[in-house]
A and B are shown apart, each in its own frame.
Chain A
Amino acid sequence: MAYNNDSEAFPTAVKILIAGGFGVGKTTFIGSASEIEPLSTEELITTASVGTDDLVGVEDKSTTTVAFDFGRITFASQHVLYLFGTPGQDRFWFMWDELCTGALGAVVLADPRRLDASFAAIDFFESRGVHFLVAVNEFDGAFHYEPEEVRAALKLDPRTPVVLCDARDSRSATTVLVALVQSLFSAARPT
């Protein structure tokens, strides 16, 4: 095919993933940071599952629909940042390579009432080598932890930033993204 070689005509799109357990406020966060109301779409992913005892060695492939929300922030520099909320069911989006490929980094939103719901996303990004930070969504103020307590509870690498936020607040959500980009900068710096 003939591609359009005039790259000036196309803005550069980059993405950051917004992950975390079910009901932690991913869509709220995306809506607060985004310049548009969050949009929703779905994708069909192929999931391979190993057969049962009766079908040793037989792999069964099936497709599953995963729905996800996303938002957008357009910058004057011809860069467009997309915020992709990961689908609710971890076991499916973990198999969705395209979601992770090319992501600059990820925000793992954590609910202070159930920090353990963040483990799956943290493990996943650590194993994939995706740079991430943990943002504790303190929306109702009922539970308050210091960042260091969260770091210890989640057994995070000392270099992984932990920040507190209110996902409903535009400024707070944007500040989380600033913290992520700043930490990407630090990671990019030759040591």
Chain B
Amino acid sequence: MAADDDEIWTDEKAGRLVRPYTVSNGRTSPTNKLDLLSMVKATGRSARAQLDPDLALALHLCHDPTPVVEVAAHLKLPAVVTKVLLSDLIDCGAATTHAPRPAADPTDRSVLEALLHGLQQRL
């Protein structure tokens, strides 16, 4: 089933009908180190048709580099469950991520300059 024509199974009032941990087979520990802002990108090396619907949809959402937190919001799943799904995609080669980055350094002037410049352009 392709992700494009597969809606998340939800009920307007009850929300998601499949419980979050069912999606991750009860797992809460992803095999890869991912944080909320880790960027994940589809590699194009896996046929989505072979994946479970939630995995296929997660992969579809990562067509461009997308952070864990955005995938979680679109899947309507807790971030920790989303990390498990994305980790599975990384393990099977369907997606890739960058090496863990050190936490953003609030004293890194190049980052601050980029932000300041970018924000001022929006004023």
Contacts and interface: CB of A to CB of B under 8 A. Distances in A.
B69 A70 contact: yes
Contact of B111 (A104, A170, A174): A104
Interface in B54-109: 65, 67, 69-70, 72-74, 76, 78-80, 90-91, 96-99, 101, 103-104, 106-109
A174 B35 contact: no
Residues of A contacting B: mostly:
mixed
A177 interface: yes
Contacts of A13: 37, 39, 67
Interface stretch (A72-80, A118-126, A147-155): A72-80
A2 B95 CA distance: 11
A191 interface: no
Contacts of A84: 36
A44 interface: yes
Given A41-B72, A43-B78, A75 B118 contact: yes
Chain B interface size band reads 35 or more
Residues of B contacting A: mostly:
mixed
B112 interface: yes
A187 B32 contact: no
Contact of B117 (A12, A70, A77): A77
Contacts of A14: 37, 104, 111, 115
A-B pairs, 8 with minimum CB distance? A102-B103, A75-B118, A188-B107, A39-B73, A4-B96, A13-B37, A41-B73, A77-B114
A31 to B, nearest CB: 14
Contact of A7 (B98, B103, B106, B117): B98
A174 B114 contact: no
A80 B119 CA distance: 11
Interface in A1-22: 1-5, 7, 9-15
Contacts of A99: 36
Chain A interface size band reads 35 or more
Interface of B: 28, 31-32, 35-37, 39, 41, 65, 67, 69-70, 72-74, 76, 78-80, 90-91, 96-99, 101, 103-104, 106-109, 111-112, 114-120, 122-123
Interface of A: 1-5, 7, 9-15, 39-44, 65, 70, 72-73, 75-77, 79-82, 84, 98-99, 101-105, 131, 170-171, 174-175, 177-178, 181-182, 184-185, 187-188
A105 B80 CA distance: 24
17 contacts: A1-B91, A3-B98, A11-B65, A13-B67, A15-B36, A15-B37, A41-B76, A42-B78, A65-B78, A73-B122, A75-B115, A79-B114, A79-B118, A82-B69, A104-B115, A178-B120, A181-B115
